[in-house]
Structure 1
Amino acid sequence: MHPVPARPSRARRAWGETWRVLAALFAGLTVLLLVAWEADTGDRQVSDAQAALDLAVGVLGLGLLLLRRKAPLTVALVLCAASAVSVTVVGAEAIAAVSLATSRRWWKIAAVGVVFVVAGRVYSVLHPYVAPEPYEGWVDLLTGVLVYALFVWIGAYIGLRREHLASLRERAETAEREQAGRVAQARTAERTRIAREMHDVLAHRISLVAMHAGALAYRTDLPPEKVAETAAVVQTNAHAALAELREVLGVLRDPAAPAAPEPPQPTFADLDALLAEARANGADVRLDARPDGTDGLGEVVSRHAYRIVQEGLTNARKHAPWAPVTVTVSGAPGAGLTIVVRNPVRSVGPARQGEAPPDSGLGLVGLAERVDLVGGRLSHGVTTTDGTTGAGGGAQFRLEAWLPWAA
């Protein structure tokens, strides 16, 4: 299957047809004048009627040449047959033969070639020389074959060149589409990464705001200094959430704008700071165990481990505010890193905090994606103190993740 070349503009097509018709007319009139000169010198027998017919057929051939793209075989056969009585049509005949050869349909080319050679011999019989040579017939046949072979070679070369250019154009367009697809895919992946990071950060901030705002709403017995302290926590975390949200919206609104340097992402080395911040905001968080050598975790695994603990604290604040949270970290190089975050299902704080904040369900989904990316495992659910599933009086929510830790 040959590639389809791009369609030229209307003006370019009109100019292409115009110069071809003018070239065919020039070639036909040139050969007609040569035959007329031979007739005038007495070398060839040409009557006035034959000359008039020759010119008329040549003019009709020029009009027929314009239809060669719609019916190339028919036009080529008619023009070649017309050359038996007209030399004025040889220019249109040559262009039609070249045009047919561009398709490289060899049985069609062979059929037109037979008509071309026979018509040339017929013209020599109808317009003989006064003193013909004995071998003139063979010369006419050989000349016809060689001339037609030249037309076929030119047409085949033009066809191959067009297909080559069309193939190059198609490759360039395909490469541009693939490059655009890769750019769009990279942009989507980056936006997904940004959305995952911002979900973790904003959920952490908003859960703090919701927990302390709930305390202000339901603890009417708090002293003024405690109210001011809690309101300051709400204000600080709300401002931090707005700043982080404004930053990510700026990136997503104008992806073509130069991005500001991205701040360093927290890693597992910042775990103590995360727990200290949670305790400073009123949470009861305990680090049950932590192995040595966690500084040797890879950057990606270390960042995912930090986000797992952060999401566990966020979920505890959302669904069990003021409840104690226990974080257990265990493992060793080569055996993997295990992180467990546990908290009671029911709140044990001094007062109920009202309805729980809406649960998007995306936090645990994002954690599962993080863990899958590094070949880890993630499990979560409600268990009892003896390890069985269910929601009894001692039920607790357990988030457990295992991450690979290279030796």
Structure 2
Amino acid sequence: MKSRTEYRWLLPSVLLGEGEGERPARRSTRDWIVDTALFLSACGLAIASAPDIAGKPRAYVVAEQVLGALACAAVWLRRRWPVTLALATALLGSVFTLIGGAGVVALFTVAVHRPFKIAGSVAAFFLLTAIPYVHLWPDPDVGVWGMFLLIVALTMMIFAWGIVVRARRQLVISLRARASSAADEARQLERERIAREMHDVLAHRISILSLHAGALEYSPGAPPEQIQRAASAIRTSAHQALQDLREVIGVLRQTPEDARPERPQPTLADLPALVEESRQAGMDVALDLVEPAPSVPELSAPAPPEALGRNAYRIVQEALTNARKHAPGAPVTVRVTGARGAGLTVEVANPVPAAAHRRQTVSEIPGAGTGLIGLAERAKLAGGRLDHHLADEGAFVLRAWLPWS
């Protein structure tokens, strides 16, 4: 805990914007080059503005030379105490000419490294200290006011230059921060996409595994051929689930440099195979896939884009998984219609079991979970929409519309 004396010494530093937490890091090579250039500039300006010492007291001449050399050497401290250095050089510069070079560098440093409210106050102090200087050492050619206006113009030019440099640095920092934020957001979106694909695929595979395993459990006396088919289906589904999981984990681990192209993704043409796989698992699924009509009779019907077909496939896949989970044994109807320009409509309906129908007093959708949320996000990202409701006849209907431009 700081004593009252320590706080008294700390107060000026806080007011000047030079607190304890602003100690600069070790100078880089670029910092050494810039500091050396500014030190030589301060020395050059001091030599160029050296006054005529004829008729001046010897003590004044010695003091000016000593203070001028110390001010140039103090330029190396501009990163640690820029405001203090600027105020000191401005105050001494009201009497001594050789301080001007270090004062120029100090004012520029404050304009670059301090906010406008501090830098503007320091610039105003420089203008105030110029008043006694022009009266002590007037120029016979331009007069007192002419010299004062010249100092004001030079001070404002240096101050404006520092403000421009500061604004450019802040712009670069802001652009870098935006780029970093955009990169993080892109990585997050990619992981969400992978997680969505992982859920859609693995939920489908695992539900088929559960269905076949349940059939074996409740039919211990089934014929050997049926048991063999169920075991083969379990082995195939488990193998495919592991392969999908391995690929997703591989995508998460790899870097962009060693990224490999993904395996071909399912499209609308793979829907019959998906339905057949569900039928083999014991589901009663009816597929109504309406081919889009060609706009010109002589031409063939246009095929949906791969991204559109993949989204439709995933929606049907998740809908079948939900049907197996919440309405086992119920017949499922899948209908896919659409045309280019009108969009693609996917509708999956299945009767709701009586028990689930009675439990739906709290929620209108029986068994709604993260799968439906993921489907809604998928449809929204594709520019479409997805809704699900319980029809009057007691059937659960999931309907999605996807744009087809």
Q: Distance in 1 between matches of 2:149 and 2:107?
A: 13
Please say if 1:142 is aligned against 2:142: yes
Q: 1:116 aligns with which of 109, 124, 133?
A: 133
Contact 1:339 1:400 in 2 (8 A): yes
- Structure 1 unaligned runs (5+)? 39-43, 82-88, 122-138, 348-358, 389-394
Indicate how the Cα distance of structure 1 residues 108 and 17 shifts in structure 2: closer, same or farther if over 3 A, else same: same
Q: Does the Cα contact within 8 Å between 2:348 and 2:397 map onto a contact in 1? A: yes
**8 Å contact 1:284–1:325 — kept in the other structure?**
yes
Give secondary structure in 1 for the equivalent of 2:173.
helix
Instruction: Indicate the residue corresponding to 1:239 in structure 2.
Output: 239
Cα–Cα, structure 1 residues 144 and 64, in superposed 2: closer, same or farther, change >3 Å? farther
Amino acid of the structure 2 residue aligned with 1:301: L
2:399 aligned partner, one-letter code: E
Tell me if the contact between 1:324 and 1:343 (Cα under 8 Å) persists in the aligned partners: yes
Quick check: 1:104–1:156 contact (8 Å CA) kept in 2? no
Aligned residue identity for 1:111: L
Counterpart of 2:357 in structure 1 is: none
Please tell me whether residue 186 in structure 1 is matched to residue 186 in structure 2. yes
* Deviation, structure 1 residue 378: 3.1
Q: Which residue of 2 aligns with 1:127?
A: none
1:91 corresponds to 2:98: yes
Name the counterpart of 2:276.
276
TM-score normalized by structure 2? 0.68
Q: For residues 226-258 of structure 1, what are the alpha-carbon distances to aligned partners after superposition, in whole Å with 9 as ceiling and x for unaligned? A: 222211111110111011011011111334342
Deviations for 1:94-119, whole angstroms, at most 9, x for unmatched residues? 54377458767775444323211221
Gaps of 5+ in 2: 1-16, 75-80, 112-118, 294-300, 355-366
The separation in 1 between residues aligned to 2:404 and 2:224, in whole angstroms, is 49
Q: Which structure has the higher relative contact order (CA within 8 Å, separation 6+)?
A: 1
Pair 1:296 & 2:302 matched: yes
Pair 1:365–1:54, CA change in 2 (3 A): same
**Alpha-carbon distance between aligned partners in 2 of 1:337 and 1:229, rounded to the nearest angstrom:** 36
Residue in structure 2 matched with residue 366 of structure 1 by the alignment: 374
Partner SS state of residue 69, structure 1: helix
Conserved 8 A contact 1:24-1:90: no
CA contact (8 A) 2:42 2:105 kept: no
The match for 1:214 is 214
Q: CA deviation at 1:275?
A: 1.7
Q: Is the 8 A contact 1:341 1:399 kept in 2?
A: yes
**Structural mapping, 1:146-185, within 5 Å:** 153-185=153-185
Q: Deviations over 1:116-172 (max 9, x none)?
A: 122126xxxxxxxxxxxxxxxxx6473776666665555444433333333222222
Give the whole-Å Cα distance in 2 for the aligned partners of 1:380 and 1:60. 83
Which position in structure 2 is the counterpart of 1:398? Answer: 397
1:76 equivalenced with 2:90 (yes/no): yes
One-letter code of the match for 2:90? A
Deviations 1:330-366 (A, max 9, x none): 566666544332334349xxxxxxxxxxx78222112
Label 1:369 to 1:116 Cα distance change in 2 as closer, same or farther (>3 A): same
The alpha carbon displacement at 1:194 in A equals 2.2
* Deviation, structure 1 residue 61: 6.8
Does 1:321 pair with 2:328?
Answer: yes
Q: Distance in 1 between matches of 2:315 and 2:171?
A: 46
Residue 379 of structure 1 corresponds to which residue in structure 2? 387
Q: Structure 2 vs 1, CA of residues 237 and 112 (structure 1 numbering), >3 Å: closer, same or farther?
A: same
Q: Which residue of 2 aligns with 1:340?
A: 347
2:264 corresponds in structure 1 to 264
- Per-residue displacement from partner, 1:265-293 (whole Å, max 9, x unpaired)? 22222222222222233332223x44232
How far did 1:323 drift?
3.6
Count of aligned pairs between the two proteins? 343
Residue in structure 1 matched with residue 14 of structure 2 by the alignment: none
Residues in 2 aligned to 1:228 and 1:253: alpha-carbon distance in whole angstroms: 37
Identity %: 39
Q: Which amino acid aligns with 1:364?
A: L
SS at match of 1:187: helix
Cα 1:92–1:401 change in 2 (3 A) is: closer
3-state SS in 1 of match to 2:142: helix
Contact residue 61 and residue 79 of structure 1 kept, 8 A: no
SS of structure 2 residue aligned to 1:91: coil
> What value does the CA root-mean-square deviation take over the aligned residues?
4.1
- Cα-to-partner distance string for 1:196-253 (whole Å, 9 max, x where unaligned): 2222111111111010111122221212332222111111101110110110111113
Indicate how the Cα distance of structure 1 residues 51 and 363 shifts in structure 2: closer, same or farther if over 3 A, else same: same
Where does residue 356 of structure 1 map in the other structure? none
Between the aligned partners of 1:335 and 1:144, the Cα distance in structure 2 is 81
Amino acid at match of 1:168: R
Alpha-carbon separation, structure 1, partners of 2:368 and 2:248: 19
Alpha-carbon distance between aligned partners in 2 of 1:198 and 1:268, rounded to the nearest angstrom: 19
Partner of 1:305: 312
